[in-house]
Amino acid sequence: MTLTILSQLFAVLAQTLSIYSLVLLVRVLLSWFPNLDWSNPVLSTVSSITDPYLNAFRGLIPPIGGLDLSALIAFLALSLGQSLLGAASGSLMGSTFG
């Protein structure tokens, strides 16, 4: 019973990371348009959700020729987290039925 709940929790967390990846992708794509009004409530919300996470990676790779590559590391970290949570969820589900 406990393993099933833990497995479901891992699956929900993996799905949450998937949704966050989509929001992060929107943020990165919007950064290509410098004339956007970031005071817009929707853009401001997207920025406030994603910028703290991106800032954690901005110090790892300095911008190269004005191109900020920190988003690549951020996406890799999210993908790794999703994979680990998905594998853990699948492993726990397998052990509850086996």
Residue, of 91 and 41, whose pLDDT is higher: 41
Predicted TM-score (pTM) of this structure = 0.82
pLDDT of residue 23: 95
HSE (CB half, 13 Å, CA atoms) of 52?
Answer: 4
Rounded Cα gap, residues 24 and 94, in angstroms: 32
For the ranges 16-25, 56-65, 87-96, the maximum mean pLDDT occurs at 16-25
Q: Where are the domains of the chain?
A: 2-97
pLDDT of residue 27: 93
> Using the 8-state DSSP alphabet, how is residue 64 labeled?
B
What is each CA distance from 97 to 7, 29, 67, 85, 92, in whole angstroms?
A: 12, 43, 49, 19, 9
| Confidence band of 6 (pLDDT split at 50, 70, 90) | confident
For the chain, the average pLDDT equals 87
Residue 51: name the closest of 40, 38, 62, 64 by CA: 38
